[in-house]
Copies of this chain bind each other. A is one copy, B any other.
Amino acid sequence: MANDTFLKACRREPADHTPIWLMRQAGRYMKEYMAIRKKHSFLEMCRTPEIACEVTLQPIEKFELDAAIIFADILLPLEGMGIEFEFTKNEGPVIHNPVRSRKAIDEVRIIEPAEDVPYLLEAIRLVKAELSGLKGKIPLIGFSAAPFTLASYIIEGGGSRNYLHTKGLMYGDTEYWHRLMSKITDVLTVYLKAQVDAGAETLQVFDSWVGCLGPDDYRNFALPYTKRLIDSVKGPVPVINFSTNTGTYLDLVKQAGGDVVGVDWKVRLDEAWETIGAEFAIQGNLDPVTLFGPVEHLKKRVKEILDMAAGRPGHIFNLGHGIILGTPVDNVKALVDFVHEYSIK
């Protein structure tokens, strides 16, 4: 591999610069993406390996990123689980029959990746083949939701403000909460393992919605399943344990394990690293809004974050959350280049 700084950072080994990739780096802020999106629905793009491959590589061709992440969606396992969903034009994902009853939970199926998400595995193989032909070959990241985040999607049926149904099940029928979480964990385990078998060299587990929970709920209702998932897939490849809005209980988040803990911009990187401990690499944590400029301010923030990491092996630069629609492409380039320029040994 021509550029293995990302994998070195996952293992906390010294590298000649701080690696950077960006959550949702393949996406709507790029005109190359929108040109394809005009002709295909979002799910069509995910389900057509050639398109998923092309979109995965778009930001790699444009910016000097140190890792690629497969173009996919955390809801792709749903079809195989027997849960119908679609992406509506403006509202995002909608699940027509949210899983809220014991019967619905009993009916959730464990997926068979080769049958249920063959397009995703094929896309990973295509990307790997393409990347190996590129001069500055970089690793490919596969990913899934964490169990809580997938559970809350399928219980709420879409986005949520207060997570009433999710917490309703958790508090009201705790036995079936655990049954559902256990099933989802089994689903995500085979889903992630299949991505590694297809060629993914790192995995990221996204717990984007778990921040609605207080620390005790996180400990009792989410942590055991994230931990089981990460423990089951870790080893052959490094795992990034990412969540947002969990900065008040990173001491618990780290118990879910992984090689790298991803943090958002609500914490100082140095303090967060101290909390999670030297046995973890850390990923983060620029506020995505900073990418809107001005560039001088963006660079100031990048410097502050890199200074907090203090060149210690094991820092992967990233945003604290995904790139926002409308982010200026020139600023993305300025960010990637500046992280390399400022961190080079």
A277 interface contact, C-beta 8 A? no
Q: How many copies does the complex hold?
A: 2
Complex partner residue of A171 from B163, B249, B294, CB under 8 angstroms: B294
A340 smallest CB distance to B (angstroms): 23
A178 interface contact, C-beta 8 A? no
The stretch from A2-10, A94-102, A227-235, A283-291 touching chain B is: A283-291
Contact B162 A288 (CB under 8 A): yes
Chain A stretch 262-296: residues in CB contact (< 8 A) with chain B: 265-268, 287-290, 292-294
Chain A stretch 111-170: residues in CB contact (< 8 A) with chain B: 162-164, 167-168
**Residue numbers in B under 8 Å from A292 (CB-CB):** 164, 167-168, 171
Contact A215 B267 (CB under 8 A): yes
A224 interface contact, C-beta 8 A? no
Complex partner residue of A266 from B168, B172, B211, B289, CB under 8 angstroms: B211
A245 to B216, CA, bound (A): 17
Given contacts A171-B293, A172-B294, contact A324 B211 (CB under 8 A): no
**Residue numbers in B under 8 Å from A255 (CB-CB):** none
A40 interface contact, C-beta 8 A? no
Main secondary structure of the interface of A (DSSP, over half): helix
**Residue numbers in B under 8 Å from A324 (CB-CB):** 162, 164
A311 interface contact, C-beta 8 A? no
A304 interface contact, C-beta 8 A? yes
Nearest residue, chain B, Cβ from A250: B248
Chain A stretch 199-228: residues in CB contact (< 8 A) with chain B: 211, 214-217
The bracket for how many chain A residues form the interface is 20 to 34
A326 to B168, CA, bound (A): 13
Contact A289 B167 (CB under 8 A): yes
A93 interface contact, C-beta 8 A? no
A290 to B216, CA, bound (A): 13
Nearest residue, chain B, Cβ from A166: B289
A216 to B215, CA, bound (A): 24
Contact A214 B287 (CB under 8 A): yes
Contact B266 A163 (CB under 8 A): no
Given contacts A248-B247, A268-B215, A324-B164, contact A172 B288 (CB under 8 A): no
A31 interface contact, C-beta 8 A? no
